[in-house]
Amino acid sequence: MPKAENHKRLESLDVLRGLDLFMLLFFQPVFMAFATRMESPALAPIVRQFTHVHWEGFATWDIIMPLFMFMAGVSMPFSLGKYIDGRGSKREALWRVAKRVVLLFLLGAIVQGNLLGLDPNRIYLYSNTLQAIASGYLITAVLYLFFKERGVLFGALALLVIYWLPMAICGDYTPDGNFAEKVDVAILGRFRDGAYLNDEGIWCFSPHYHYTWIWSSLNFAVTVSLGFITGAIMRRSNAPLTAIKRMTILGASLVAVALLLATVAPIIKKIWSSTMTLYAGGICILLMALFYYIVDYKGWGKGLAWLKIYGMNSIAAYVIGEVVNFRSVSDSLLHGLRQYTGDYYGAVLTLANCLILYIILRMMYKAKIFIKV
């Protein structure tokens, strides 16, 4: 594939991003809606793979968020590279980065922070994937714009260590005892997701909510930076196979290192532990290498092109899919099926909801309407 200077679009990135969003917004909700009603023991192992691990460990479903963040980093050498190459000012680049970060944070607050609920007791400041992307993108962009590609590499290594040190010294890796949990409780306070007022008017924290965001932002940046490094490999290489080999070696190495270190620092997605960051990042790089090989190098991606319907409008797909519920529309059209579908009627509505979103995205794709943030 030619370098980014030739302005050829990275088709594999659109397809892989589309697969990630398709799994999130169509396959998983539909599959789980039907599988949970079937209650088949044979499906139990598959159901577990499409459910987040409670604490330590990693399931297939746990790669969705890291992959979304990782791909935001892959595009950065292509989108911001011109500013490093002297084809734009650093001030212009910083303004572009700032706008994107603010928009992502606002959209994240709309999706999961209850911003549109207009209830001050239920507004959460930092609780969503888009906000995690914003944090990781901001740190990685600053490292790149001021210290170039080496700055991103050494910055990512430093952030991994900075995150890990207090985690190892000031607490443990239990849900309530880890350092990242303490930071979130102290800084976000009542604006933390899961916070609620009890009958005495005292703010309490849900014992079931243990996702962390403030301290985890350091490793969010590492995830985005790993995507950046992968994008830089593809952008700088004149030989696609060489780039694929480098990505494969890097990805496999990160997975191996993460597994070796997991006995000391467990793989825990909810707090974005350093080993989880390396493990998920390695898998993301391997997936990117595979799709780069299939789509961009071999040109075998024709059958996967439909995934670009999701991939080229990923932010719109995510926000619409998470905010707008089309089930009432589906119910008004399909209520006559209730008598025939019985307990599966809810699953049918889930399928219809996902299909309506797909139709909207397909219409946008056909009309060449792509919402960029």
- CA atoms 228, 230, 233, 236: torsion sign: negative
Does residue 234 surpass a pLDDT of 70? yes
Please write the tens of the pLDDT for every residue from 64-73. Answer: 999 999 999 9
The better pLDDT of the pair 118, 54 is held by: 54
| 372 occurs within a structural domain | no
DSSP secondary-structure letter at 24? I
- CA atoms 293, 294, 298, 302: torsion sign: negative
Does residue 224 surpass a pLDDT of 90? yes
Does residue 3 surpass a pLDDT of 60? no
DSSP secondary-structure letter at 176? T
Paired tokens of 155: 């910055």
The better pLDDT of the pair 332, 114 is held by: 332
| 373 occurs within a structural domain | no
CB contact at 8 A, 322 and 129: no
% pLDDT > 70, the chain: 98
CB contact at 8 A, 33 and 309: no
3-12, 69-78, 122-131, 358-367: range with lowest mean pLDDT: 3-12
Does residue 99 surpass a pLDDT of 50? yes
Q: Which of 141, 134, 133 is nearest to 68 (CA)?
A: 133
Rounded mean pLDDT of 332-343?
92
Q: What's the pLDDT band for 1 if we cut at 50, 70, 90? A: very low
Any idea how long the chain is? 373
Q: Residue 32 phi/psi, 5° resolution?
A: -65, -35
| CA 247 – CA 231 distance, rounded (Å) | 10
Q: What is the pTM of this model?
A: 0.93
Please write the tens of the pLDDT for every residue from 168-200. Answer: 999 899 999 999 999 999 999 999 998 888 888
Q: Mind giving me the DSSP string for 108-125? A: HHHHHS-GGGT-GGG--S
User: Where do runs of H (alpha helix) occur along the chain?
Assistant: 11-22, 28-38, 44-49, 64-74, 76-84, 90-112, 129-169, 179-188, 217-236, 240-261, 274-291, 308-311, 314-323, 327-334, 338-341, 345-366
Rounded mean pLDDT of 300-328?
94
| 270 occurs within a structural domain | yes
Does residue 2 surpass a pLDDT of 60? no
CB contact at 8 A, 52 and 59: yes
Total count of domains within the chain = 1
| 82 occurs within a structural domain | yes
Q: What's the pLDDT band for 6 if we cut at 50, 70, 90? A: very low
Q: Mind giving me the DSSP string for 307-363? A: GHHHHTTHHHHHHHHHH---HHHHHHHHGGGHHHHGGGHHHHHHHHHHHHHHHHHHH
Residue with tokens 């899919």: 321
The domain containing residue 184 runs over which residues? 4-366
Q: What's the pLDDT band for 226 if we cut at 50, 70, 90? A: very high
Which pLDDT does position 8 carry in this prediction?
A: 66
Which pLDDT does position 5 carry in this prediction?
A: 44
Residue type, 111: V
| 371 occurs within a structural domain | no
37-41, 128-132, 304-308: range with lowest mean pLDDT: 37-41
Q: Which of 130, 28, 137 is nearest to 75 (CA)?
A: 137
Rounded mean pLDDT of 217-245?
95
Say whether 23 sits in a helix, a strand or coil: helix
Which positions ≥6 away from 86 have C-beta within 8 Å? none
CB contact at 8 A, 38 and 16: no
Say whether 204 sits in a helix, a strand or coil: strand
